[in-house]
Amino acid sequence: MKTIAVLTSGGDAPGMNAAVRAVVRSGIYNGCKVFGVNRGYRGLIDGDLFEMDLSSVGDIIHRGGTILKSARCLEFKTEEGRAKALNVLKVFGIDGLVVIGGDGSFQGAQKVSEMGFPAIGIPGTIDNDLAYTDYTIGFDTTLNTVIDAISKIRDTSSSHERVSIIEVMGRHCGDIALYSGLAGGAEVIIIPEAEYNEDEICKKLIQSKNRGKKHSIIMLAEGVGGAQELSEKIKEKTGIESRATILGHIQRGGSPSAFDRIIASQMGAKAVELLLEGKSSRVVGIKNNEIIDMDIHEALAIERKLNTDIYKLVDVLSI
């Protein structure tokens, strides 16, 4: 293992730069050349690679986004596209690949490994939707961004005695809504993993108003439905004024939290260590506060489960 390539793929997440930095500096420390791949798998197919040095990753640990940029690439899902990518890796003399991204990016790394090329995955996604790891890079920063927004929205919500529905990212995984809802004191959390009843929600809002509560916060994961539509239904059924706020891509940006910087640095170094040990088809994660690695096939096969304890706690604390 003399030359390593690193790419970021899929949706960007705060902390990706810290992971890139760790891969580059750990690789160089261990005597390897490290190449960056611009624009994920798209750049791999197009041969958009460049050699990185220590200064390439200077002053980036605190920056959000990814200096390597990211792009979705349908061509890589084809055998022809993957063959092109593998040929580019061989032309550049790359011996191992580190992929930073979510489940779609990991599926790409899995295919590369099946073609006989060493690949290691690092979980970089704000959704926290990879079941094998307790946390993904970017999730903690996003939580803090959402909680800050909740605090600001609460100020105006209480002034006007409104219900505020805050829609956050999470098409299939509701962790952003769940954890930010608990930390932000939401009355209701609506996520893809749990059924909900509009009439029960309206009943809870009416009861809260009758006992003197001046405002309520509802956290809604985007995979369940639209905040504006729910706002209109609440107004219709209860007469309580409500407002919908869609946080959108503000959730992806911002300087990564200390926690995201730390785990990204640890995971980046671990990925290089695995390649140097001759291992392939592995993903890095964190479990019980320990950095772990696992077979990529096994990791992707693990079924993600809702943290029912936290979900129930929100209901208890919002009475």
Write the DSSP string, 134-147. Answer: S--BTHHHHHHHHH
> Looking at residues 201-213, what average pLDDT do you find?
90
Q: Are 291 and 270 in contact (CB under 8 A)?
A: yes
Residue 169 labeled ligand binder? yes
At residue 212, φ and ψ (nearest 5 deg) are 100, 5
Helices (H), 192-238: 198-210, 227-238
Q: H or E segment at 262?
A: helix 258-276
Quick one: which of 185, 140, 161 has its CA closest to 241?
Answer: 161
Q: What is the pTM of this model?
A: 0.95
* pLDDT digit string, tens, across residues 52-81: 999 999 999 999 999 999 988 999 999 999
What is the torsion angle, in degrees rounded to the nearest 10, for the CA atoms of residue 116, residue 90, residue 28 and residue 138? Answer: -60
Give all strands of the β-sheet with 242-246 in edge-to-edge order: 188-190, 216-221, 163-168, 242-246
| Terminal-to-terminal C-alpha distance of the chain | 58
Tell me the domains of the chain and their CATH numbers: 3-138+256-301 (3.40.50.450), 139-252 (3.40.50.460)
The pLDDT of residue 225 is: 84
At residue 306, φ and ψ (nearest 5 deg) are -70, 140
Quick one: which of 22, 5, 8 has its CA closest to 67?
Answer: 8
* pLDDT digit string, tens, across residues 76-133: 999 999 999 999 999 999 999 999 999 999 999 999 999 999 999 999 999 999 999 9
Residue 22 labeled ligand binder? yes
CA distances from 119 to 1, 88, 89, 267 (A): 12, 15, 12, 14
Residue 312 labeled ligand binder? no
Tokens 């260590």 -> residue = 273
Does residue 181 surpass a pLDDT of 90?
yes
- Alpha-carbon distance of 7 to 306, in angstroms, equals 30
Residue 93 labeled ligand binder? no
* pLDDT digit string, tens, across residues 128-180: 999 999 999 999 999 999 999 999 999 999 889 899 999 999 999 999 999 99
Q: H or E segment at 112?
A: helix 103-114
Does residue 1 surpass a pLDDT of 90?
no
Question: b/e string for 208-246 if b means 16 or more Cβ within 10 A?
Answer: bbeeeeebbbbbbbbbbeebeebbeebeeebebebbbbe
Residue 82 labeled ligand binder? no
> What is the chain's length?
319
The pLDDT of residue 214 is: 82
**Structure tokens belonging to residue 247:** 């946080």
Q: Which residues are catalytic?
A: 127
- Alpha-carbon distance of 193 to 255, in angstroms, equals 29
